[in-house]
Amino acid sequence: MARPLLVITATVVLGAGVGTGLWYLTRDPGTLPVAAPTVAAPAAEDTAATDGTAASEDTASTPATDADATSAPPTASAPVKSSAAPSGSAAPGYRTARDPVGYTVAVPEGWTRRQKQGELAPVVSYDSPYDGRRLQIFALAESTPAESLDLAEHDPGYGFARQPGYRVLDRRSDTAWSELTYRYDDADGGPRQVIDHRFRAADGTLYAIRSSGPEDLAADLVRAPLATAVASFCPSGGRCG
């Protein structure tokens, strides 16, 4: 009798855990505890992966830094266009990262990489060492970028619209991508601004790239890493450009 009871208990706990992990993913960057779910940074914000990528223990964390970064990377302008080919060399202030998860992307020099395993895919974060900004990259399970972003925002259990101080700042979309810019109040990191960009990559896979930072930071400094990452993103085996 004891064994069936244990199996039932484990199943219930597992089901609850997935919902909790997804909620964590809908939060933004910040300082995550060591065992936090699918995303991380220096204040208590965990970013949104509504594609079912709930995170588990931080056992897959793989730091990698360029120690000499002392100044912010260049700014970028308005909307992000999805997935162009990476050029042979990254823009000034950026480096080309051939990520072991399976893609190439340009990220700011000196930003630290970490990886957390989600339910369906790993979530990779690149964190600024000096001003609280963060990039997060993960594959999606939904059918379209719009569907994924809508779920991330509005799910009654973990949608980031439920976060304190949540307010939409901008929405943009096209046939192959959807983007939401918003702000919220992080319990540990204070007011934050987030740009969540979801798109179809060159190999047909859907991805999210999220950029975030303190609300008092110039908006261009939060958009610049996102614009560069999306423009340079190329999945392994994809024909980009």
Instruction: Provide the domain count of the chain.
Output: 1
pLDDT at 152: 93
Does an H or E element contain 186, and which? strand 177-186
| Distance in angstroms (rounded) separating the CA atoms of residues 180 and 196 | 5
Q: Is 68 left (phi over 0), alpha (psi -120 to 50) or beta?
A: alpha
pLDDT tens digits for 128-174? 999 999 999 999 999 999 999 999 999 998 899 999 999 999 999 99
User: Over pLDDT 90: what percentage of the chain?
Assistant: 55
pLDDT at 91: 86
**Residue 162: inside a domain:** yes
pLDDT at 238: 72
Global confidence as pTM: 0.69
**Which residues of the chain are modeled with pLDDT < 50?**
1-47, 49-87
CATH of the domain at 61: 3.40.1000.10
Residues 6+ apart with CB under 8 A from 233: 83, 86, 103, 104, 105, 137, 201, 207, 209
**Residue 240: inside a domain:** no
Domain holding 49, by residue range, is: 2-235
Strands (E), 10-129: 94-99, 103-108, 112-117, 122-127
pLDDT at 240: 82
pLDDT tens digits for 197-213? 999 999 999 999 999 99
**Residue 140: inside a domain:** yes
